[in-house]
A = this chain, B = another copy of it.
């Protein structure tokens, strides 16, 4: 169960097609940067960490394709590829972060095209390795919070498919399970694209972790009736004050947890943090195609009337005051986030 695999021999990026899981398991091979851009845009691959890594290898593909060009043409090819990859999805900060890492390599490199290509691949591999280690560290910090017998609500998909290792919020759950704790997961189905019902449920079943799928709007009932001990979800972008942009529905889930004194944690690598943004109100929210909402069917029957329209914001922002803590690879940050989050990141870097 890996979200992506880099083929060094052929400079190809192989992605599992997450749009058709779990019914079908198919792989898509990207041989051009345009194919990587399309795969990110169309959500063949998704999840902020996985998108960042895919973009880094998208740059490796661009470098491999342009290696015989004159040096200036080669560099402008790379610049175009970077711009295209950057525009493939908004919101996620890992995407510009990974592309910046590659850009720094390009800007500071002195050598021929082949050597630069190889150096970009080394950098993409390094990002992959660092992400794997971050996932593990995040999972360790988070798993310590989980008690034997806990029932946990999880939103969207933050597991192996969304990342490069065992995941962020789901990584925490997987590690607690591997530590021998008996846990039960209530899986938010996560409309409109149903990443929870489709992907998280499938991942949990692979690990043998007991779960039930719930409709997103049922979380309030379970939180209010004392059936849930913790809430975990990921983050697509975190601002300096601890506000968290994440998959739409995270905000209402955090409100319901907070109102019932149930701890709610956002789980992410610090690469997701944008210290330059003071608060979440400044995060642009991607609004996706209305067909993601309208395309729902129920027992095979189309549901929405002819000519219906929809609004489809893909993310929302959880204000920091609703969050119990932020779980990162550097440790768990507690309020006051505005002071503690930048301090932790400065101290450890």
A110 located at the interface, meaning its Cβ lies under 8 Å from any Cβ of chain B in the complex: no
**Chain A interface helix/strand/loop/mixed:** mixed
Instruction: Decide if B255 touches A251 in the complex (CB within 8 Å).
Output: no
Q: How far is the CA of A22 from the CA of B224 in the complex (A)?
A: 34
Instruction: Decide if A311 touches B186 in the complex (CB within 8 Å).
Output: yes
Q: How far is the CA of A193 from the CA of B309 in the complex (A)?
A: 19
Instruction: Decide if B311 touches A248 in the complex (CB within 8 Å).
Output: no
Other-chain residue from B259, B295, B310 in contact with A212 (beta carbon distance below 8 A): B310
Residues of B within 8 A of A198 (CB): 298, 303-305
Chain A interface extent, by class? 35 or more
| 29 A–B contacts from the bound complex (CB under 8 Å) | A23-B302, A189-B191, A189-B296, A191-B216, A192-B215, A193-B298, A197-B304, A197-B308, A198-B305, A201-B304, A205-B308, A213-B293, A213-B304, A213-B309, A213-B310, A214-B310, A214-B312, A215-B293, A216-B249, A217-B248, A218-B249, A218-B312, A218-B316, A221-B315, A221-B316, A225-B285, A255-B256, A296-B298, A297-B297
Q: How far is the CA of A188 from the CA of B252 in the complex (A)?
A: 14
Residues of B within 8 A of A315 (CB): 221
> Which chain A residues numbered 163 to 203 have a C-beta less than 8 Å away from chain B?
186, 188-194, 197-198, 201-202
